[in-house]
Structure 1
Amino acid sequence: MQTSRATSFLRGKYVAGESEAQGVERALTLLQDCGIRSSLFYMGEYVDTLDLVAQNVENKVKVAEALRDHALDIHISVDPTQIGHHIDPALVEDRAYRIARTIKDAIGNKTDGVNCLMFDMEDASLNDPTIAIHNKLQNEGFPVALTLQAYLYRTEADLAAQIARGSRVRLVKGAFAAGSELAFQSTNEIKDNSRKLIAMMLSQEAREAGFYPIIATHDTRLHDFAIAQARRNGWKPGSYEFEMLLGVREDVAKRLSENGERVRLYVPFGRDWWPHAARRLGENPANAVLLARSLAS
Structure 2
Amino acid sequence: MRRIWQASMIGLARSSAMKSFMQNSRATSFLRNKYVAGETVTAGAERAVALLEKNGIRSSLFFMGEYVDDPALIAETVQQKHDAAEAIAQRQLDIHISVDPTQIGYVISPQQTQGHALKLAKEIKRLAEESQGIHCLMFDMEDASLNDPTIALHNTLQDQGLPVALTLQAYMRRTMEDMEKQVQRGSRVRLVKGAFAAGPKLAFQGTNEIKHNSRQLIELMFSKTAKSKGFYPIIATHDTNLHDFAILVARKNGWSKGEYEFEMLLGVREDIARNLALQGERVRLYVPFGRDWWPHAVRRIGENPRNAVLLTRSLFS
TM range (shorter): over 0.9
Distance 2:201 2:312 in 1: 37
**What are the superposed Cα offsets for residues 24-46 of structure 1, whole Å, 9 maximum, x if unpaired?**
01101100000000000000100
Give the aligned partner of residue 191 of structure 1. 211
Q: Say whether residues 1:12 and 2:33 are aligned partners.
A: yes
Q: Give the TM-score of the pair, scaled to structure 2.
A: 0.90
Give the aligned partner of residue 219 of structure 1. 239
Note the residue ranges of structure 1 that are not aligned, 5 or more in a row: none
**SS state at 2:285 partner:** strand
**What are the superposed Cα offsets for residues 95-120 of structure 1, whole Å, 9 maximum, x if unpaired?**
001110110000016686x2100001
Kept after mapping to 2: 8 A contact 1:6/1:291: no
Q: Say whether residues 1:239 and 2:259 are aligned partners.
A: yes
Give the aligned partner of residue 248 of structure 1. 268
CA drift of 1:289 comes to: 3.7
Question: Residue 24 of structure 1: which of 35, 42, 45 is its match?
Answer: 45
**What are the superposed Cα offsets for residues 126-176 of structure 1, whole Å, 9 maximum, x if unpaired?**
111111111111111100000001111111111111111110000011111
**SS state at 2:86 partner:** helix
CA drift of 1:248 comes to: 0.4
Question: Residue 46 of structure 1: which of 40, 63, 67 is its match?
Answer: 67
Q: Say whether residues 1:276 and 2:296 are aligned partners.
A: yes
Kept after mapping to 2: 8 A contact 1:83/1:92: yes
Q: Give the TM-score of the pair, scaled to structure 1.
A: 0.95
Give the aligned partner of residue 5 of structure 2. none
Kept after mapping to 1: 8 A contact 2:51/2:57: yes
Distance 1:95 1:264 in 2: 25
Distance 1:68 1:7 in 2: 33
Map residues 1-297 of structure 1 onto 2, 5 A cutoff.
1-108=22-129, 114-283=134-303, 288-289=308-309, 292=312, 296=316
- The aligned amino acid for 1:89 is P
CA drift of 1:280 comes to: 2.1
Q: Moved runs in structure 1, 4+ residues, more than 4 A? A: 109-112, 283-288, 290-297
Query: Mean alpha-carbon deviation: is it higher for 1-10 or for 19-28?
Result: 1-10
Count of residues in correspondence between the two structures? 296
Distance 1:179 1:144 in 2: 30
Counting aligned pairs with the same residue, the percent is 67
CA drift of 1:262 comes to: 0.5
**SS state at 2:23 partner:** coil
**SS state at 1:171 partner:** strand
Kept after mapping to 2: 8 A contact 1:216/1:243: yes
Kept after mapping to 2: 8 A contact 1:7/1:291: no
Distance 1:35 1:18 in 2: 24
Distance 1:248 1:76 in 2: 19
- The aligned amino acid for 1:219 is D
CA drift of 1:281 comes to: 2.9
**What are the superposed Cα offsets for residues 65-103 of structure 1, whole Å, 9 maximum, x if unpaired?**
000011111000001101111111111111001110110
- The aligned amino acid for 2:47 is R
Kept after mapping to 2: 8 A contact 1:151/1:183: yes
Distance 2:66 2:97 in 1: 15
CA drift of 1:286 comes to: 7.6
Kept after mapping to 2: 8 A contact 1:170/1:216: yes
